[in-house]
Amino acid sequence: MRLTLDELDEARSIVARHFGPTPCQRWPLLDAEFGSELWLKHENHTPVGAFKIRGGLVYVEHLLRREPDCAGLITATRGNHGQSIGYAARLHGCRCVVLVPKGNSSEKNAAMRALGVELIEHGDDFQEAREQAARIAVEERLHFVPSFHRDLVRGVATYWLEFFEAAPSLDIVYVPIGQGSGICACVAARNALGLATRIIGVVSAHAPCYSLSWEKRALVEAPARTVLADGLACRRPDPESLDVILASVDEILTVTDEDIANAMRLLFSSTHNAVEGGGAASLAGAIQQRELLAERRVGIIVSGGNVDSELFAAVLSSNWNPTTEPEN
């Protein structure tokens, strides 16, 4: 998926109507911990607390230009994608139905409802919620918003433009992978800007469909059982996203929930940001490669902060014990 700078700038003009660039900064304690320059992009500070809002704003704007009579939107999510679509739908006065699996984050569910989303809990995982959303879309003639789409990637790429422009030439960036919009956006922005930054994808070891697909160089499904990184709980790779990853990403790492819990604690103690599991995966990847990073300029994306209070308290107090084993 190639995106031109003009396409990315157009997306940036849409996002800029709603909020300004998120903070991009170094934190002395993290630099000291790594012996490198660690640049953090704080997408936990968007209006919904995660980067996904950018994709929603651009996707819905383009959709409603094409289909001004659209009866409403429906999608499936573990939370941040749903907040993103809910936020954009509300701006346009558009109905928005969101399917989540049973047992989904209660605070993400509450945040979606607060945006006016009609929330339906269905199925045991994202995939089951998604299939039900597709059925309701047909029955109620709603527009089904996918989790991966060129316009979502285009919107998400706006944070990469901000990041690459604000931080001085990054040697390497670590990017969490759920369905892949974040990492495909990273590839698109890096290529459009003509940069040589290495891109490392970070996958949950308890939801390894993208890392297994990377090894096999073909689409592989795998169970998604992470309990800490719901944003990364993907069972089936998106084929288009996988093509981009196979063609343009330099390396894929897996991190366990325990690695992610350590990264969440480090982020809190060194920056005092509350970061959700998926949002801490980038730093967890960098921790795994710490010895390779001395004196390098490293980009860390803090992709979201929407962690349930109880879970976060348990992680911070070290009471949280991972009950899941890596799937490999």
Ligand X SMILES: Cc1ncc(COP(=O)(O)O)c(C=O)c1O
Enumerate binding residues for ligand X (CB under 6 A). 50, 52, 80-81, 176-182, 231-232, 276, 278-279, 303-304
Smaller CB separation from ligand X, 93 or 100: 100
Q: Say which DSSP state 89 is in.
A: H
Tell me how far apart the 2 most distant CA atoms of the chain are, in Å.
57
Smaller CB separation from ligand X, 208 or 278: 278
Q: CB of residue 141 vs ligand X: minimum separation in angstroms?
A: 27
Smaller CB separation from ligand X, 31 or 150: 150
**Structure token pair of residue 162:** 């901000």
Give, for 281, the enclosing helix (H) or strand (E): helix 277-288
Q: CB of residue 201 vs ligand X: minimum separation in angstroms?
A: 9
Round to whole Å and give the CA distance between 235 and 256: 16
- SS3 labels along 149-211: CHHHHHHHHHHHHHHHHHCCCCCEEEEECCCCHHHHHHHHHHHHHCCCCEEEEEEECCCCHHH
Smaller CB separation from ligand X, 65 or 202: 202
Q: CB of residue 295 vs ligand X: minimum separation in angstroms?
A: 28
Smaller CB separation from ligand X, 31 or 265: 265
Q: CB of residue 229 vs ligand X: minimum separation in angstroms?
A: 8
Q: CB of residue 34 vs ligand X: minimum separation in angstroms?
A: 21
Does residue 277 sit in helix, strand or coil? helix
Backbone angles phi and psi of 297, in degrees to 5: -100, 115
Smaller CB separation from ligand X, 67 or 221: 221
Smaller CB separation from ligand X, 63 or 275: 275
Q: CB of residue 294 vs ligand X: minimum separation in angstroms?
A: 27
Smaller CB separation from ligand X, 94 or 283: 283
Cβ atoms within 10 A of the Cβ of 212, count?
Answer: 19
Give, for 267, the enclosing helix (H) or strand (E): helix 257-271
Round to whole Å and give the CA distance between 78 and 228: 12
What separation in angstroms does the CA of 259 have from each of 42, 116, 168? 20, 35, 28
Cβ pair 174, 200 in contact under 8 A: yes
Cβ atoms within 10 A of the Cβ of 32, count?
Answer: 11
Q: CB of residue 29 vs ligand X: minimum separation in angstroms?
A: 22
Sheet with 73-76, edge to edge strand ranges: 118-121, 96-100, 73-76, 143-144
Smaller CB separation from ligand X, 31 or 240: 240
Q: CB of residue 95 vs ligand X: minimum separation in angstroms?
A: 22
Cβ atoms within 10 A of the Cβ of 143, count?
Answer: 17
Cβ atoms within 10 A of the Cβ of 295, count?
Answer: 9
Q: CB of residue 217 vs ligand X: minimum separation in angstroms?
A: 19
